[in-house]
Chain A
Amino acid sequence: MSSHPELAAGVIHDIGYRHYDGPRLGRRHAVRAVFVHSLRGVYGLGRPARAKVLPFLLLAIVCAPALISGAVTAVTPLPPIPYVHYAYYLQIAVMVFLAAQAPQVVTGDLRFRTLSLYFSRPLERDDYVLAKLAALATGLFALLAAPLLIIYVAVLLSHTHAASDVLNETGRLLVGLTGVAVDAVLLAAIGMAISAFTRVRAFAVVGIIGLYLVTSSVAGIVGGVTRASDVGAAFGLLSPFSLLDGFQAWALRVQAATPLEPGRLGWAYALVVVVDVALAVAVLHWRYRRIES
């Protein structure tokens, strides 16, 4: 602290204090600042190198099958992995990403009590929650959309000759991206609601992975036993990925990736997706109301 002789010797570099009379942009700008800062944090940007390792490694893992599938499609007549099933197949990598990066978005501010610095500014608590949630969802969307774009480019480069081919493929991509956007919002909401309850990152990681393992095992086992029945479909609502798969099948009218066809329960899948997100946001609202800053 006293390693600066210029401090003791009357501050040589000092050119005097200047007041700021430029614009003050208020709440919306503040929300955007938190959003951008947190989105960068999801990928470890602006953080030490070690914070970038895991997100980019997982991005590579999630994209690798798309690269292989794209290459296979380019040299053989085999079709690529369907856009709408990609996230389902790569769900373990996606969950590891969520378990690692959702706590990164919120537990640090709780543990290091940085919330005090946010809440002493023109930002309201709900603004903070929504900005963080949007950042995590956008980060997840980037993770899930990147492989779809890789496949899209591979298909366009190798198999499309007519304009109608391009249009059809683009239509399929847009359906895939829509599904992935819903995935991103639901997973981000669940991941953040769990993470916001602990200051210890490891607990949040275990909570997210634990919830995923338990629900997907139950859904998988019951689904395997009951095959395509209403009972099986009802259990499919439990696990995030079978829920999202069933929701896509119903809402986007595509083939489900699981044996758990939503069938007549399609509307229930849509309802549960909405309720889960609303519940997570309500929990986050309640949680951040109660935090003393």
Chain B
Amino acid sequence: MIAVDRLTMRYPGVTALDELTLEIPPGIVGLVGANGAGKTTLIKTLLGLLRATSGGVRVLGLDPARQGGGVRALVGYMPEHDCLPPDLSATELVVHMARVSGLPATAARERAADTLRHVGLYEERYRGIGEYSTGMKQRVKLAQALVHDPRLVFLDEPTNGLDPAGRTEMLALVRRIGVDFGISILVSSHHLGEIERICTHVVVIDGGRLLRSSPIDRFTERSLALAIEVDERAEELAARLALAGVRCREDGRTLLVDVRDDATYDMIRDAVADLGLGLIRLEQGRHHIEDVFRDPQPEEVARVVAS
């Protein structure tokens, strides 16, 4: 879907991307990194809006540096920053953007109406964008990126500026676009835990270098764990489980237990019942990506150093 080959982007005094090489598969791919890690620079290079200092990229089999128009006809882009004219209504803007993407007038109107409905904008789409909340503006930005039915969309920090409920809704929407609409997504975020909820693959960059690129299950498979919370005497439960040969560790009031097979669940149930404890919470505690980074495996360290 996307191939990045030794991509370097230098600005006076700053190296935004440093010999970045990676392959991005179809699906919902998270592009994770701190602010200034090079996420936006990478996206703009993929769109053919920035010329690389050296190295190259291919998007959907095309070279954006030479076939920028061809790439941009097939992809959608939701910028991180505000980009909406306040005096237009969402409908006017999205219809216009559909036409600039090459859709005939009638198709542009139909698709704009459909797309705005899919992102959850209804009667308010006829009002001026200037009156919208941040959440509604983010939806309009998303709609304009989807209106021409792209094969791939770049979403640059779509949850920026949203409250927690708004973030959850936006992420659900992004997931729906990937899963139900069948559009591949490259979604950037500086929040690892947030992105792992919806992605099939995660790319982590830092300082313009690749830190890691792998499917989401590889990120978390080593740490499929069960979080157990009991009302008291957690340490007794831990000892009991350890005796039964179940690896577990205490994390505050929560016990994190490695699940080997279904028998582990029975063992936990019996242990809690035998000790007469009150079970408050028993949760599929897939560890967050942060945990994976907390103690990287030796091969990962080697790879980071090598890159």
* A2 touching B169, Cβ below 8 Å: yes
A11-25 near B? 1/0 per residue, CB < 8 Å? 001101111101111
Which of B87, B99, B181 sits near A51, CB closer than 8 Å? B87
Is B142 interfacial (CB 8 A cutoff)?
no
Which of A13, A17, A113, A121 sits near B72, CB closer than 8 Å? A121
Quick one: which of B21-47 are within 8 Å of A by CB? 44, 47
* A2 touching B165, Cβ below 8 Å: yes
Is A109 interfacial (CB 8 A cutoff)?
yes
**Given A20-B111, A37-B96: A30 in contact with B87 (beta carbons within 8 A):** no
Is A117 interfacial (CB 8 A cutoff)?
yes
* B83 touching A124, Cβ below 8 Å: no
A112 to B101, CA, bound (A): 20
**Please, which residue of chain A has its CB at the minimum distance from the CB of B107?**
A22
* A30 touching B136, Cβ below 8 Å: no
A65-102 near B? 1/0 per residue, CB < 8 Å? 00000000000000000000000000000000000000
Which of B76, B83, B114, B122 sits near A18, CB closer than 8 Å? B114
A173 to B120, CA, bound (A): 54
Is A168 interfacial (CB 8 A cutoff)?
no
Is B86 interfacial (CB 8 A cutoff)?
yes
A122 to B47, CA, bound (A): 10
A70 to B211, CA, bound (A): 77
**Please, which residue of chain B has its CB at the minimum distance from the CB of A28?**
B102
**Please, which residue of chain A has its CB at the minimum distance from the CB of B170?**
A1
Is B79 interfacial (CB 8 A cutoff)?
yes
**Given A1-B136, A122-B73, A124-B69: A114 in contact with B100 (beta carbons within 8 A):** no
Is A34 interfacial (CB 8 A cutoff)?
yes
A293 to B45, CA, bound (A): 12
Is A4 interfacial (CB 8 A cutoff)?
yes
* B117 touching A13, Cβ below 8 Å: yes
Residues in A neighbouring B73, C-beta threshold 8 A: 24, 26, 121-122
CB distance from B98 to the nearest CB of A (A): 9
* A114 touching B83, Cβ below 8 Å: yes
B128-161 near A? 1/0 per residue, CB < 8 Å? 1000010110010000100011000000000000
Number of chain A interface residues as a range: 35 or more
**Please, which residue of chain A has its CB at the minimum distance from the CB of B138?**
A1
A114 to B69, CA, bound (A): 18
* B120 touching A7, Cβ below 8 Å: yes
Interface residue count on the B side (C-beta < 8 Å): 49
Is A33 interfacial (CB 8 A cutoff)?
yes
A140 to B276, CA, bound (A): 86
* A22 touching B166, Cβ below 8 Å: no
Residues in B neighbouring A17, C-beta threshold 8 A: 114, 118, 180-182
B73-84 near A? 1/0 per residue, CB < 8 Å? 101110101111
* B169 touching A46, Cβ below 8 Å: no
Which of B85, B136, B144 sits near A108, CB closer than 8 Å? B85
Which of B82, B102, B180 sits near A24, CB closer than 8 Å? B102
**Please, which residue of chain A has its CB at the minimum distance from the CB of B101?**
A121
Is B298 interfacial (CB 8 A cutoff)?
no
Residues in A neighbouring B77, C-beta threshold 8 A: 116-117, 120
CB distance from A199 to the nearest CB of B (A): 13
Q: Which of A18, A48, A120, A122 is the most central at the interface, judged by chain B CB atoms within 10 Å of its CB? A: A120
CB distance from A161 to the nearest CB of B (A): 46
* B83 touching A116, Cβ below 8 Å: yes
* B166 touching A20, Cβ below 8 Å: no
Is B63 interfacial (CB 8 A cutoff)?
no
CB distance from A14 to the nearest CB of B (A): 8
A293 to B72, CA, bound (A): 14
**Given A1-B133, A119-B49, A293-B49: A112 in contact with B84 (beta carbons within 8 A):** yes
A251 to B83, CA, bound (A): 45
10 residue pairs bridging A and B, Cβ less than 8 Å apart: A7-B169, A16-B180, A19-B149, A25-B102, A116-B79, A118-B100, A119-B49, A120-B77, A293-B44, A293-B49
